[in-house]
Structure 1
């Protein structure tokens, strides 16, 4: 398959490097009718957690952005904090079939089996190691299966994470930014990949809340476009892809609880280098900054706020570009080289095991950081209900209804959005 590169109407087309699988305004503007099949195929080849959107990755960060995120959502949202579960007398099992719903993947089931190990006596914060397996299947025939282990070693000074996953995600490509034919006529594609994630963070000496360390991400699989959705004359096309990265993470965490914080700050900064050096097909870099703060407004009321910026450079494949995660839009509706978004939630625990949330999400995307504040924008808002999984846990089952200018979305998941 010929090299594929991302182009846009507002900037010249960059030169594609070997192995690039990119997006393009050329493809965005295709109408299907009137284009010769050979020309269509040539442009199609220009399209470029991990199993990141679904992935074993919000603890990890799309199969790439799509699958990578499922790993993260699965690990972070199911990680127990020192206040989450009473494990004084030993370990604890959690087994649950959890309904799943989102505009991106549809409705389905997310079975989870977790073992929360007894807390180590030499760990002053009493964090518990967690081992888990889980899966996801939805009515658009997407699936993810995976396993992970998260541990705290050397009196909590060292945090480790390992995750393995496999899955297939059926998604839609809306083009880059917010212009072109595909914005209103998205093209379906599939990502099918195997994922490995390894991460280590050590507490920085002479500090109490700062952690720093490397991580490694490797995925291999296929990306396929369903061109037959444009016109039956066109065959579906795809190619094999390998994505590999070595990254560094810095974090600062003063939250009183990692599952349902009522007070504190959580900051993360990350940089990842993707390339042939680590076993991948694409040479690019990704950067991220995220800051969350939690304000206790009373015994039952919490205001949670989050700001997040993502950036990329080099030959980024479209499926791993920075993405706005605004509730009410499909994942991938807003992608570009740079993204900025803010979220705010007012959380009210009106019963010991029941809560209510009202929220607003907003963000912007652009191909340059200098033009980010004037880039394409999206806004979503809505309400949600929370239910505590057990009396001794702060882990919530969440149901959100979000509204945007384009659609209404229903989300069912484990844990909070941030």
Structure 2
């Protein structure tokens, strides 16, 4: 679940919200390959290392965001097969339990530390995703349409975030209903003290506590780098003083990702993502345009929508090139939908299939938007 807050604030928990498929082991009848060589094609591959590790896996965190600066950190993840699940090797892929902890820091002084888990119970009929993080984030708030010329207000949010979510499968389909509790307790500071006067007391709320309901369907063939199928989700969250929130507001999100193979070499992906908020939402919780090439929280308002497409060209069994193009718009508090402008971002990238048995690509993207040009290190799909 995306909380519509600056990206680094929930980066640690987001890593734990991505379902990870535990694929079939290598063919044991074949000649055993080296730890970092694939038994099928002999190429460099980390499948055996990841699947045979059976312990903590170090996961580097690399951050290249125009709003946050460059930085990085480290997460440690522990994989565990759910009790009673069928062993790998059949037609059904079993998702493992995942426990993790990590931290990161960026060049503008932002940092986070967090722990979390993604668990499966009763043959994947029940799921849990959640975590707790401590974060201090430095960002700029932009005010299009409110003042002439628009202002950029530099601010810091420092505090704790808790995200707890449980899912229940509906019938035998890949359809889940979820309940969530999201809690944030943040201190707000401004580089220029008088900038606080630009916001109402309710926009400066430091505590938000909300309950959420979601419906999710996932038919993708792979959760890391899909080639077919689609993921769709709708969710709503209500924040109320009666459950610990400083103000009453609601946040909603609806998104869908689709993947279509075009012959044997190409995969076309499409993404539609809409987010909106009502009520007395704190300014740092406003929806924003989430696109490669546009800084986190650069364009914010009570409504935000994004359309994006990506084409992957599998030049070989291991290497692929990608090109992507997207546009987003925000409106609501500052502008009407008709008066708001579209912000466009685009880019290119390269991928390598680093874990064939997990279907996981890694690589780098170069993207440019209205103000910024930057690189992104990618592990799996960039769409979350």
TM interval, short-chain normalised: 0.7 to 0.9
Distance 2:337 2:220 in 1: 30
Structure 2 unaligned regions, length at least 5: 25-46, 87-91, 196-202
Match of 1:141 in 2: 109
**Do structure 1's residue 306 and structure 2's residue 247 form an aligned pair?**
no
**Do structure 1's residue 401 and structure 2's residue 366 form an aligned pair?**
yes
Match of 1:91 in 2: 54
Distance 1:345 1:197 in 2: 30
Alignment of 1:245-394 (within 5 A): 245-367=210-332, 371-372=336-337, 374-394=339-359
Match of 1:220 in 2: 185
Q: 2:167 aligns with which of 201, 212, 218?
A: 201
Q: Deviations over 1:64-92 (max 9, x none)?
A: 44455424532245x42144967877835
Aligned-residue offset at 1:130: 1.0
Question: Aligned residues, how many?
Answer: 348
Q: Deviations over 1:321-371 (max 9, x none)?
A: 111112222222211111111111111233444332110110111117x95
Aligned-residue offset at 1:405: 3.0
Match of 2:153 in 1: 187
**Do structure 1's residue 153 and structure 2's residue 121 form an aligned pair?**
yes
Give yes or no for contact 1:222–1:239 (8 Å, CA) kept in 2.
Answer: no
TM-score (norm 2): 0.82
Alignment of 1:16-35 (within 5 A): none
Q: Deviations over 1:87-115 (max 9, x none)?
A: 87783542133432111211111312112
Structure 1 unaligned regions, length at least 5: 1-58, 231-237
Give yes or no for contact 1:82–1:257 (8 Å, CA) kept in 2.
Answer: no
Give yes or no for contact 1:174–1:182 (8 Å, CA) kept in 2.
Answer: no
SS of the residue 2:16 aligns to: helix
Aligned-residue offset at 1:251: 0.5
Match of 2:33 in 1: none
Match of 1:70 in 2: 11
Distance 1:76 1:399 in 2: 22
Range that drifts further, 158-167 or 292-301: 292-301
Aligned-residue offset at 1:239: 7.0
Q: Deviations over 1:207-237 (max 9, x none)?
A: 412100210011112111111698xxxxxxx
TM-score (norm 1): 0.76
Give yes or no for contact 1:103–1:329 (8 Å, CA) kept in 2.
Answer: yes
SS of the residue 2:57 aligns to: strand
Give yes or no for contact 1:379–1:404 (8 Å, CA) kept in 2.
Answer: yes
